[in-house]
Amino acid sequence: MSSAADTLTETPLGGPTLPQERRLVTSIPGPRSQELLDRKADAVAAGVGHTAPVHAVAAGGGVIVDADGNSLIDLGSGIAVTTIGNAHPKVVAAVQAQVAQFTHTCFMIAPYDSYVSVAEALNRITPGDHAKKSALFNSGAEAVENAVKIARKYTGKQAVVAFDHGYHGRTNLTMALTAKSMPYKSGFGPFASEIYRAPLSYPYRDGLDGGLAAKKAISMIEKQVGADNLAAIIIEPIQGEGGFIVPADGFLPALVEWCRANDVVFIADEIQTGFARTGEMFASDLFGIVPDLITTAKGIAGGLPLAAVTGRAEIMDASHAGGLGGTYGGNPIACAAALAAIDVFENDGMLERAREIETILKGRLKDLQAADPRVGDVRGHGAMIAAEFVDPATGEPDAALTAAVAKASIAQGVIVLTCGTYGNVIRFLPPLSITDDLLHEGMDVVAAALAAA
Ligand SMILES: *Cc1c(COP(=O)(O)O)cnc(C)c1O
């Protein structure tokens, strides 16, 4: 056991009180982390994987501290969740106050203020100034399931179109909506019926402008599904797991327009892109679209589990009473956290910070790209930026290189996540609370890992 680890207090305080530094006092994983990983292997189902082989004990600002006393730079935010920073003081205070007041009544049994306040806030900050309503759930997948239920009830139609490279969750219906087989679907069928897949705009690989890409998708929808049968199309305005794919300008507006003309509900899945992540409160704002329904989760509550469907009041009200809900949906502690987080998003300069991070990350990655043809594409918005790695000779995706760079970065104390249908994308999702210095140091490590790979 290293001496630095022994100087750790029993329960190091998280949040911004943690020293903002990369500090390696053991190899990764250190002995205490390895002990937890061994217990995990024995006790936790093998299907639940992990990216960084660490035993986390505290996190805040831009770092995660492990049980061996290592401090890792966090460029993943627990998959875009701790956008305002881990254990943000306003979230901690709100949670502590609420947990001492009451922990649960079930909103469907005895309603409470914080749920209604979250709904009001979501109705206010989501795109469009039409009358809106919201319903709260526990996870992103559950929100997506409910958005589909609502759209079907409202339209009286059944089919749903999702897109190539789309990711919408791991429950049965959302597996059907998700594109990628391994690891999300393989062996888990049969999947829900009446789900169809349309081609996405993927400028780096299809070379199409937004209008042409939309025409292709709409033609497929009209010929293979038919607007008369179609309840909804669901799309991530910028794809998350699928590879941080930013559609060409004009693609999303053309889809929205077609939906309006054909009584089809347009659902924007903003579970990963929402809440300041892209430098706008919602990615739909980047593209000037107003979705009929929007699903949110991840960044919504500073790390507590909460999700929502928000949308046009007449659509949201289509369900009979008792048709929507769930025992824990809109739990009061999660709602208190969300109100604190939304306050931070709106009042503490989060949109500006996301744009500053975009400038730093894009600058660093474009420098890498200029010097190394294996960096095929650099894309994204705000603090949601990715690099796609390719074989320079053929342009083919290079998943092995991507995995090697990510693994080496983590071993050097920088947590990065990969994504993409072809597994050849490294995505950068730092908390907005990260310092510029840490962000640069993290990118130094990634650049060195790439040079060595
Ligand atoms: C993460 C994610 C989901 C699923 O959310 P869970 O909370 O993991 O169920 C759905 N859609 C998108 C775009 C996501 O990024």
> Which of 298, 300, 304, 429 has the most ligand 1 atoms within 8 A of CB, as the residue to mutate?
298
The region of weakest confidence among 12-26, 65-79, 231-245, 272-286 is: 12-26
d(CA 447, ligand 1 centre) in Å = 29
pLDDT at 334 over 80: yes
266 and 129 in a common domain:
yes
The DSSP bridge partners found for residue 158 are none
Cα distance between residue 337 and residue 385, in whole Å = 26
Q: Residue 91: enclosing H or E segment and its boundaries?
A: helix 89-101
4 — pLDDT class (breaks 50, 70, 90) = very low
Ligand 1 atom closest to 166 (CA): 13
Predicted local distance difference test score (pLDDT) of residue 11: 55
d(CA 269, ligand 1 centre) in Å = 8
Average pLDDT over residues 104-128: 98
Rg (CA), the chain: 22
210 and 144 in a common domain:
yes
Predicted local distance difference test score (pLDDT) of residue 17: 86
Predicted local distance difference test score (pLDDT) of residue 8: 47
- Strands of 1-108 (E only): list them: 56-60, 63-66, 71-74
Residue 85 lies in a domain: no
pLDDT at 264 over 60: yes
341 and 353 in a common domain:
no
Ligand 1 atom closest to 272 (CA): 15
Domain stop point among 330, 347, 364: 347
d(CA 17, ligand 1 centre) in Å = 30
**Could you write out the DSSP letters of every residue in 385-405?**
EEEEEB-TTT--B-HHHHHHH
Domain stop point among 347, 381, 415: 347
The closest residue, in CA terms, to atom 6 on ligand 1 is 140
Cα distance between residue 254 and residue 127, in whole Å = 17
283 and 202 in a common domain:
yes
Which tokens in the block code for residue 334?
A: 């999660």
Ligand 1 atom closest to 298 (CA): 7
> Which of 236, 245, 271 has the most ligand 1 atoms within 8 A of CB, as the residue to mutate?
271
| CATH at 295 | 3.40.640.10
- Of 345, 344, 346, 304, residue with least CA distance to 96: 304
149 and 65 in a common domain:
no
d(CA 23, ligand 1 centre) in Å = 31
Residue 83 lies in a domain: no
436 and 338 in a common domain:
no
Predicted local distance difference test score (pLDDT) of residue 5: 46
d(CA 309, ligand 1 centre) in Å = 13
Cα distance between residue 353 and residue 194, in whole Å = 41
> pLDDT by residue (tens digit) across 296-322?
999 999 999 999 999 999 999 999 999
d(CA 179, ligand 1 centre) in Å = 13
Amino acid at 249: D
> pLDDT by residue (tens digit) across 154-188?
999 999 999 999 999 999 999 999 999 999 999 99
Provide the terminal-to-terminal Cα distance of the chain, rounded to the nearest Å.
Answer: 30
Burial of 436 (0-12, 13-18, 19+ CB in 10 A): exposed
> pLDDT by residue (tens digit) across 390-404?
999 999 999 999 999
Q: What integer best gives the mean pLDDT of the chain?
A: 96
Instruction: Using DSSP, state whether 366 is helix, strand or coil.
Output: helix
pLDDT over 90 percentage in the chain: 96
Ligand 1 atom closest to 236 (CA): 13
Average pLDDT over residues 183-204: 98
d(CA 2, ligand 1 centre) in Å = 38
Residues with beta carbon inside 6 Å of ligand 1?
A: 139-141, 144, 167-169, 236, 240, 269, 271-272, 297-298
- Of 310, 336, 335, residue with least CA distance to 324: 310
> pLDDT by residue (tens digit) across 273-302?
999 999 999 999 999 999 999 999 999 999
Cα distance between residue 95 and residue 434, in whole Å = 22
Ligand 1 atom closest to 305 (CA): 7
Say if residues 58 and 23 touch (Cβ distance below 8 Å): no
Vertex 202: Cα angle to 197 and 205 (nearest 5): 115
The closest residue, in CA terms, to atom 11 on ligand 1 is 168
> pLDDT by residue (tens digit) across 428-446?
999 999 999 999 999 999 9
- Of 229, 288, 223, residue with least CA distance to 257: 288
d(CA 268, ligand 1 centre) in Å = 12
361 and 280 in a common domain:
no
Number of domain units in the chain: 2
Predicted local distance difference test score (pLDDT) of residue 10: 52
Residue 82 lies in a domain: no
271 and 249 in a common domain:
yes
> Which of 178, 234, 272 has the most ligand 1 atoms within 8 A of CB, as the residue to mutate?
272
Say if residues 301 and 308 touch (Cβ distance below 8 Å): no
> pLDDT by residue (tens digit) across 217-228?
999 999 999 999
d(CA 173, ligand 1 centre) in Å = 13
| CATH at 22 | 3.90.1150.10
> In which domain, by residue range, is 209 found?
91-347
Ligand 1 atom closest to 297 (CA): 7
Cα distance between residue 446 and residue 70, in whole Å = 18
Residue 150 lies in a domain: yes
Predicted local distance difference test score (pLDDT) of residue 12: 63
C-alpha dist (Å) from residue 402 to 81, 122, 418:
23, 37, 7
> pLDDT by residue (tens digit) across 90-115?
999 999 999 999 999 999 999 999 99
Q: Residue 131: enclosing H or E segment and its boundaries?
A: none
358 and 336 in a common domain:
no
Cα distance between residue 124 and residue 131, in whole Å = 9
- Of 157, 173, 114, 132, residue with least CA distance to 294: 132
Domain stop point among 285, 318, 347: 347
d(CA 241, ligand 1 centre) in Å = 9
Predicted local distance difference test score (pLDDT) of residue 14: 76
Residue 227 lies in a domain: yes
Residue 195 lies in a domain: yes
258 and 372 in a common domain:
no
Instruction: Using DSSP, state whether 134 is helix, strand or coil.
Output: strand
Predicted local distance difference test score (pLDDT) of residue 360: 98
16 — pLDDT class (breaks 50, 70, 90) = confident
Cα distance between residue 347 and residue 306, in whole Å = 21
> pLDDT by residue (tens digit) across 68-87?
999 999 999 999 999 999 99
Say if residues 407 and 309 touch (Cβ distance below 8 Å): no
The closest residue, in CA terms, to atom 7 on ligand 1 is 140
Residue 369 lies in a domain: yes
Backbone angles phi, psi at 42, to 5 degrees: -80, -35
Q: Which residues have CB under 8 Å from 323's CB, separation 6+?
A: 149, 153
424 and 321 in a common domain:
no
Q: Residue 377: enclosing H or E segment and its boundaries?
A: strand 375-381
> Which of 82, 137, 145, 167 has the most ligand 1 atoms within 8 A of CB, as the residue to mutate?
167
d(CA 272, ligand 1 centre) in Å = 7
422 and 323 in a common domain:
no
Predicted local distance difference test score (pLDDT) of residue 9: 46
C-alpha dist (Å) from residue 291 to 121, 135, 342:
17, 16, 20
Say if residues 196 and 158 touch (Cβ distance below 8 Å): no
Residue 16 lies in a domain: yes
